A and B are shown apart, each in its own frame.
Chain A
Amino acid sequence: MSTLLEIEQLEVEFGRTAAVRGASLTVERGETHCLVGESGCGKSVTALSVMNLLARGARRRARRLAFEGLDLPGLSESGMAHLRGNAMAMIFQEPMTSLNPAYTVGSQMTEVLRRHKRASRRTALDRAADLLARVGITAPGLRLGQFPHQLSGGLRQRVMIAMALMCEPRLLIADEPTTALDVTVQAQILRLLASLQRDLGLGMLLITHDLGIVARVAHRVSVMYAGEVVESAATAELFANPRHPYTQGLLRCVPVPGRIKRDEPLGSIPGTVPRIGPGFEGCAFRERCGFGDETCHQAIPRHAAGPTHEFLCRLPA
């Protein structure tokens, strides 16, 4: 395996809010890396920083932010536009708002290929039809001529995935790709993503708040809280041996059939993710953590809990 995406000490600020605070992670070729956390923890902002799609006014700094060794902040906008949708592609949560309602599936799918690869309309349409079939859509010819509103949510998400694959990307960033879907369709879409990732050797950064999804598709997991990666490990290791109190809390929240008797409370994490300004010191989880004390106001050490396992907590146990 070789490293596809390197993020080291990423910081993103919007005015007085620090959205990402020193996050680091890597995605290897052929690996699915899941970034998990609650709304507002900075996981989508991390993904958008990679694509350089942050809202105007955001400040992005990183010790290193590189795709295949190429320094991303050093690229011009046209250099970035050459990568985006081409070698690195992204799919979003809500396929209805990310597809253009005024264009047919065929015309928006072929646009990337015609633009990046200078392909002819015919070649591009053939490839689009192939990919629609590849993502499990029957009658691709018919779908190419349809508009997004004529498709169900699951079909739209398949179209988004097929569109992201048009230029044979090496890195696919998927931001909550199944959150808006029914559980049955979610299972189908995740199966599809996992098989594409395997067959095409894609590196995938999958963003989700659902640990059930993480367990089933990730090779490696980073748990994000209030802008920091608080724990990172190989998937089996993380679920067998979660070390950060936040990871432990998240795991207790997932309802598992047959595990908890009716009327017994589900495990939950009290409170909400705090909003944090630049210059915050100590552990951001301390107010919601059962183990917090005054030492949690100081800088928090990063512990190694194994060759692939790191966590950010002052409690070494």
Chain B
Amino acid sequence: MNAIEVKGVRKTFRLKGGLLGADRHVVAVDDVSFAVPTGGVLGIVGESGCGKSTLARLILGLLEPDAGEIAIEGQRVTDMDRRARARLIQPVFQDPFASLNPLARVRDIVAMPLKAQGDLPTHEIAKRVDDMLSRVGLSKEMGQRLPAELSGGQRQRVAIARALVLRPRIVVCDEPTSALDVSVQAQILNLLAELRRDLGLTYLFISHNLAVVEHVASDVAVMYLGRFVERAPTESLFRAPEHPYTKALLASVLTPEPGLGVPDVGLGETLPDPADIPLGCRFHPRCPIAEPRCAVETPPLKPRPTGGVECLLAS
């Protein structure tokens, strides 16, 4: 069975126009379908505003889709009771400074999901919090501290402990290491990988950095203005990227190799506007190899053995 199944999901937001301006519609997620098998890790990459965080919130049940269906562990997300949902799927967010209550002690932050379930005795809660803290590499003494007394990496460990304390099956990680130093990022990525193996978790792993995604994901989806423009097993996406946007993202990863200079990713200055999605291929205004027909024809999904690509110029 698939841990996550998403079919034809669409989410639009309305932006209020000014005094005379008309309302504008932002299509954040535009007819996206995919499945993640149990134990798999789907990496989703794309720039700010591409809809990846909206997709995460839809799957977590924090937003309702305008169209389409989302099922986790075979049940429709929107039909589920909040407590039942919390036992199946949990988030880890980007900013460990904003996502932890500054007035609560670490122990209480991690205990909160257990208390919210309402049916666990206090000593059982205490025991599970202790286990979880040591599992993510935090000492008992750390449990007594406030978030402000911890480093960024330690705070992200607290967020992971809070996400895992209910023993969920699925974890949605939304840029879990973007706010961290490279050295701490490596610690957190290793911890997430180890926990996934040991606990048999399924991850949806969102990042704007392809190098980070490569490290944790079994499959990667590249998202651009609300759509998956390419999806492939990680190894083949990195070996033979097909979509020009995927290639640009790969080119923008700065590896520590001196003498290579900073590459020209060839995307130009125009930034994508989710309230004004171009006709034809939505990537064509920034595409270095666009042809006239790319401005008119909508690229169909060209399926591959696993995944596919939406580019008119792909063979």
Which A residues are closer than 8 A to B by beta carbons? 38-40, 136-138, 152-155, 182-188, 190-191, 194, 209-218, 235-236, 238-239, 249-258, 260, 262-263, 265-270, 272-273
Tally of B interface residues using CB under 8 Å = 52
Kindly report which residue of chain A lies nearest to residue B261, judged by CB atoms: A216
Kindly report which residue of chain B lies nearest to residue A37, judged by CB atoms: B181
Answer yes or no: B126 CB below 8 A from chain A CBs: no
Whether the pair A188, B265 counts as a contact (CB closer than 8 A) is yes
CB proximity of A284 to chain B, nearest CB, Å: 15
| Chain A residues within 8 Å of B235, by CB | 262
Kindly report which residue of chain A lies nearest to residue B259, judged by CB atoms: A236
Answer yes or no: B30 CB below 8 A from chain A CBs: no
CA distance A258 to B235 in the complex (A): 8
Answer yes or no: B197 CB below 8 A from chain A CBs: yes
Whether the pair A262, B48 counts as a contact (CB closer than 8 A) is no
Q: Which of B182, B218, B248 contacts A262 (CB 8 A)?
A: B218
Q: Which of A153, A212, A265, A267 contacts B253 (CB 8 A)?
A: A212
Kindly report which residue of chain A lies nearest to residue B255, judged by CB atoms: A256
Kindly report which residue of chain B lies nearest to residue A250, judged by CB atoms: B183
| Chain B residues within 8 Å of A252, by CB | 186
| Chain A residues within 8 Å of B243, by CB | none
Which of B17-25, B61-69, B146-154, B164-172 forms contacts with chain A? B146-154
Q: Which of A152, A187, A211, A270 contacts B187 (CB 8 A)?
A: A270
CB proximity of B248 to chain A, nearest CB, Å: 6
Whether the pair A257, B238 counts as a contact (CB closer than 8 A) is yes
Knowing A239-B257, A263-B197, the reply to whether A258 touches B262 (Cβ < 8 A) is no
Interchain residue pairs A-B with the least CB separation, the first 5: A212-B254, A268-B186, A253-B186, A255-B211, A187-B252
CB proximity of A214 to chain B, nearest CB, Å: 7
CB proximity of B174 to chain A, nearest CB, Å: 15
| Chain B residues within 8 Å of A183, by CB | 208-210, 249, 252-253
CA distance A36 to B152 in the complex (A): 18
Knowing A184-B248, A184-B249, A266-B190, the reply to whether A254 touches B267 (Cβ < 8 A) is no
